[in-house]
């Protein structure tokens, strides 16, 4: 049970280099203090390195093999339909938030995009749970609070904006000030990281705004754990064009049409950042004899880092076997995987493609504004250990 | 049982492009006829795409999981010693040659290098089995034949020479002419392919000599099946230097010294061609907790195509679990894997490195100077099916 307000922040797409560059630039005094005095680690995210699987890993403290959310999007083998995994019926584990509420904690959950609100708030009854995207509709009446947009002093931000994330932290700060939550989970969006590289003015400025909110939360006495759902890497060729390989085209050429179905678990309704191009793909095959030819074709592609069978991928990446393909494909650090050229509207991209989903975007920050105690030396910390750290391993606040 | 003399030729390192280029150049009239009229296929070799595993696959008709020869070199887990796999005690399957001899066939086996003679000749009692490397010591007296060097009219060739392979085919021709064998297995060496790319004058000239021997064997009425143990690819960076990554150095840095042992199954006593740099490596780990960090480090290396656990590799590549590492590493098409810089004497290389061992060198020719009959349509032919083809699926000789 938390003794002081305890906050977990998931900075969407926070490649560790963003923080290192902002610290080096002197743009983020609170993060600089944290790096020098606090707990400043790196950890691996769950795979695939996408938003939904990792947010659910963080709030359940478990990998996708346990909680069931293996992507933003998947092929339901029972119905043969491709579906978004936003619905709570896909969730197979209770959340830590739900358990804490049952023991009497006051919980607030704020996400940037509305797509995550349902999953993160699953099982909560008396808690606050809203998205910045739909801030105007947030109902804080149960806690006796007025409209959140008034409290923050910001309009509902645009869905493609840096302010969507800023709003999350600013709203968290107002709720900590006025409503005395025991636990907050704040989850931002990676709009800025998809567009701007670490160390750019835009990125540093984004993290500077975040820094001032986090500093204020810290001054109010909160324990703060920070991690990310995934990193972010440039995915362009030497001309600056997306370095994409179109798996459905290649497999149709090899096997004929209709034998394979490629699904991209990065897919969600918000495609402007990435054109649905990420570094992880599922391949479903309608017959067993295509497995080896498909594996061979895929592994020989220079953009492909790994091709695993369902059983291998489930075991190695801790994924639910019934929610991944017959084959799982992971792209190289500089590459992304698509279906067919015509399935990806790249005209929407207004900056060189940056994306994620693979092993090269698995390393993320794991930060706490306290010293940690009683961590077993051999323990390999993951991003989804952050609730365990801030609840069960907190030592003194550094000076 | 063969009705006419039946010959299987393993052209060591015969990347399919060598034959295509030589045909295009008009250098090989017999191969040109074969391409137009005969059976001219491609097939996958056994993995790793090295000489010993594939020669044993060809003569046993089975993958290394059955015959046990998983490399030229391996770490004996029982003794902890790294040993050559030349000794017949490592062989777990009888050879097709041995079975044919028992039914009364006269068998001749000729290899380029002596390293293979013991394994290929295992179980043979009344047959001829010798190497071009030690042609002076070949004992053909059981068949009433004089010194083979006299019959061929060549001295014992140098071990690093094109003539070492030429001698194998020339000796096979003399034995077919004078001794009436039922079955011959002729296995050359890849000295030329390690040095010269497809389409070069040296390569075309080498294949032209081979072409005239094969044409003569064909004119004598033999059924001839031709395949290769592995392909061959350039393994250099943009400066023409070996594109090698030194796994032992990287793993020592990650895990500390003594935790991991890298073995390179390309290793054999003949290092001048390749400096022991191939595209396949085994990694043995002294503790289980290093497995995932090592896998992660290796898979993120740009020169690495695949990293598999022992069980995954045994299953996917049909390898014996007890003769491979805790991890199996496969390099990209343009890369090779080393231990430490100092373990590889690259001063011996007198041409830009060309090598093999990986998935990108698995495709090889599969040729027969007859039409084939009764091949199941779904059958995926392998190089080690060649004896089955020439013994059990022979149709008419094309015009």
Q: What is the pLDDT of residue A377?
A: 82
Q: What average pLDDT does this structure show over B339-363?
A: 92
Answer yes or no: is pLDDT of A206 > 80: yes
Decide if pLDDT at A160 tops 70.
yes
In this complex, the residue of B289, B316, B380 whose CB is nearest that of residue A378 is B289
For residue B293, pLDDT beyond 80: yes
B302 CB-near residues (< 8 Å, 6+ apart) = A332, A333, B332
| Closest residue in chain A to residue B307, using alpha carbons only | A306
Distance CA B95, CA B61 (A): 8
Grade residue A272 by pLDDT with cuts at 50, 70 and 90.
low
Residue B128 has pLDDT above 90, yes or no: yes
Q: How many CB pairs under 8 A join A and B?
A: 37
Which of B247, B246, B343 has the alpha carbon at shortest distance from B294? B247
Rounded to two decimals, the ipTM of the complex is 0.71
The minimal CB distance from B300 to the residues A307, A360, A378 is found for: A360
- Separation CA A7–CA B254 (nearest Å): 33
Distance between CA atoms of residues B318 and B190, nearest Å: 24
pLDDT for res A305: 93
| B292–A333 CB contact, under 8 Å | no
Residue B245, SS3 per DSSP = strand
Shortest distance between the Cα of A22 and any Cα of chain B, in A, equals 25
Contacts of A300 in chain B (CB under 8 A): 305, 333, 359-360
pLDDT digits 0-9 by tens, A94-139 = 999 999 999 999 999 999 999 899 999 999 998 999 999 999 999 8
Distance of residue A305 Cα from the nearest chain B Cα, in angstroms: 6
Say what percent of chain A tops pLDDT 70. 99
Task: Tell me the per-residue pLDDT of A27-85, one tens digit each, with 9 for 90 and over.
Answer: 999 999 999 999 999 999 999 999 999 999 999 999 999 999 999 888 888 888 888 88
Tokens of A192: 């800025």
CB A242 within 8 A of CB A235: yes
DSSP β-ladder status, A81-84 and B107-111 = unpaired
Task: Supply the pLDDT for residue A271.
Answer: 67
Q: Which of A302, A214, A245 is nearest to A28 (CA)?
A: A214
Q: What percent of chain A has pLDDT over 90?
A: 85
> A302, B360: Cβ pair inside 8 Å?
no
Neighbours of B310 (CB within 10 A): 20
Which of A293, A300, A378 is facing B360, going by the closest CB pair? A300
Tokens 């594939």 sit at which residue?
B54
Query: What integer pLDDT is reported at residue A398 of this predicted model?
Result: 86
Of residues A273 and A184, the one with the higher pLDDT is A184
Contacts of B305 in chain A (CB under 8 A): 299-300
**Partners of residue A308 in chain B, C-beta under 8 Å:** 312
Instruction: Quote the minimal CA–CA distance from A79 to chain B in Å.
Output: 30
More confident residue, A40 or A343: A40
Q: Do A332 and B302 touch (CB under 8 A)?
A: yes
Rounded-to-integer distance, Cα A253 and Cα A251, Å: 5
In whole angstroms, what separates CA A303 from the centre of its chain?
23
Of A293, A300, A380, the CB nearest to B359: A300
Partner-chain contact B302 A378, CB within 8 Å: no
pLDDT at position B80: 83
The b-or-e profile of A162-198 (16+ CB within 10 A means b, else e) is: bbbbbbbbbbbbbbbeebebbbbbbbbbbbbbbbbbb
pLDDT at B271: 67
CA distance B279 to chain A (A): 13
Whether residue B141 is predicted with pLDDT greater than 90 in this model: the reply is no
Decide: B166 and B184 in contact? Cβ < 8 Å. no
Query: Strand locations in B142-201, DSSP E?
Result: 183-187
Give the tokens for residue A17.
């280099």
Residue B82's pLDDT is what? 84
CA distance A296 to chain B (A): 8
Q: What is the pLDDT of residue A72?
A: 85
Q: Which of A44, A306, A380 faces B299 most closely, judged by CB atoms?
A: A306
Query: Which SS3 state, helix, strand or coil, does residue A4 take?
Result: coil
Name the least confident of A176-185, A337-346, B70-79, B93-102.
B70-79
Q: Do B380 and A299 touch (CB under 8 A)?
A: no
Question: Quick check: helix, strand or coil at residue B85?
Answer: coil
Please name the member of A299, A302, A360 whose beta carbon is closest to the beta carbon of B306: A299
DSSP structure string for B249-304: HHHHHHH-TTSEEEE-TT--S--TTTTT-BSEEEEEESSGGGHHHHHHHHHTSTTE
pLDDT at A283 over 80: yes
Q: How far does B300 lie from chain A, in Å, by closest CA?
A: 7
Which of chain A's residues have a Cβ under 8 Å away from the Cβ of B300?
305, 333, 359-360
The minimum CA-CA distance between B272 and chain A, rounded to whole Å, is: 28
A305 closest CB neighbour out of B299, B312, B316:
B299
Residues on A contacting B at a C-beta cutoff of 8 Å: 44, 289, 292-293, 295-296, 299-300, 302, 305-309, 312, 316, 332-333, 359-360, 378, 380
Peptide bond before residue A167 is cis, with ω within 30 degrees of 0: no
Interface test mutation site (partner B, options A47, A254, A297, A300, max chain B beta carbons within 10 A) = A300
pLDDT at B76 over 90: no
Q: Is the Cβ pair B302, A333 closer than 8 Å? A: yes
Q: So what's the pLDDT on residue B272?
A: 66
| Residues of A whose CB is below 8 A from B295 | 316
Contacts of B379 in chain A (CB under 8 A): none
Q: Which chain B residue shows the shortest CA-CA distance from A299?
A: B305
In Å, how far is B66's CA from the nearest CA of chain A?
Answer: 20
pLDDT in tens, A139-157: 898 899 989 999 999 999 9
Confidence of residue B14 (pLDDT cuts 50, 70, 90): very high
Instruction: Give me the pLDDT at residue B130, please.
Output: 96
Among the partner-chain residues A293, A359, A378, the one whose CB lies closest to the CB of B300 is A359
pTM of the model: 0.84
Asked whether the beta carbons of A92 and A66 are under 8 A apart, the reply is yes
pLDDT-wise least confident of A10-19, A366-375, B374-383? B374-383
């Amino acid at each position: 049970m938390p003794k002081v307000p305890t906050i977990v922040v998931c900075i969407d797409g926070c490649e560790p280099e963003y923080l290192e560059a902002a610290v080096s630039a002197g743009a983020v005094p609170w993060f600089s203090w944290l790096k020098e005095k606090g707990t400043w680690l790196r950890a691996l995210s769950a795979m695939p390195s996408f938003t939904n699987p990792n947010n659910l890993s963080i709030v359940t403290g478990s990998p996708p093999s346990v909680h069931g959310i293996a992507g933003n999007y998947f092929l339901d083998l029972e119905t043969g339909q491709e579906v978004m995994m936003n619905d709570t019926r896909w969730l197979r584990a209770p959340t830590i938030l739900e358990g804490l509420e049952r023991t009497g904690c006051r919980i607030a959950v704020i996400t940037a995009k509305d797509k995550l609100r349902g999953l993160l708030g699953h099982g909560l009854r008396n808690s606050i749970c809203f998205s910045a995207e739909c801030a105007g509709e947030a109902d804080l009446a149960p806690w006796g609070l007025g409209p959140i947009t008034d409290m923050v002093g910001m309009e509902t931000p645009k869905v493609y904006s840096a302010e969507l994330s800023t709003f999350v932290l600013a709203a968290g700060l107002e709720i900590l000030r006025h409503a005395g939550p025991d636990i907050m989970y704040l989850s931002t969006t990676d709009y800025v990281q998809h567009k701007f590289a670490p160390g750019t003015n835009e990125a540093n400025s984004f993290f500077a705004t975040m820094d001032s909110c986090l500093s204020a939360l810290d001054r109010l006495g909160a324990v703060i754990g920070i991690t990310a759902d995934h990193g972010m890497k440039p995915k362009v060729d030497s001309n600056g064009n997306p370095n994409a390989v179109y798996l459905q085209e290649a497999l149709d050429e090899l096997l004929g049409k209709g034998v394979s179905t490629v699904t991209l678990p990065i897919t969600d309704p918000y495609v402007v950042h990435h054109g649905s191009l990420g570094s992880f793909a599922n391949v479903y095959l309608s017959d067993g004899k295509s497995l080896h030819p498909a594996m061979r074709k895929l592994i020989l592609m220079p953009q492909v880092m790994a091709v695993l069978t369902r059983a291998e991928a489930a075991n190695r990446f801790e994924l639910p076997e019934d929610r991944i393909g017959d084959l799982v494909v992971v792209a190289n650090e500089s590459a992304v995987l698509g279906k067919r050229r015509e399935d990806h509207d790249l005209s929407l991209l207004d900056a060189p493609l940056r994306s994620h989903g693979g092993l090269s975007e698995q390393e993320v920050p794991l930060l706490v504004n306290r010293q940690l105690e009683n961590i077993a030396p051999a323990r390999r910390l993951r991003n989804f250990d952050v609730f365990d750290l801030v609840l069960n391993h907190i030592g003194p606040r550094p000076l």
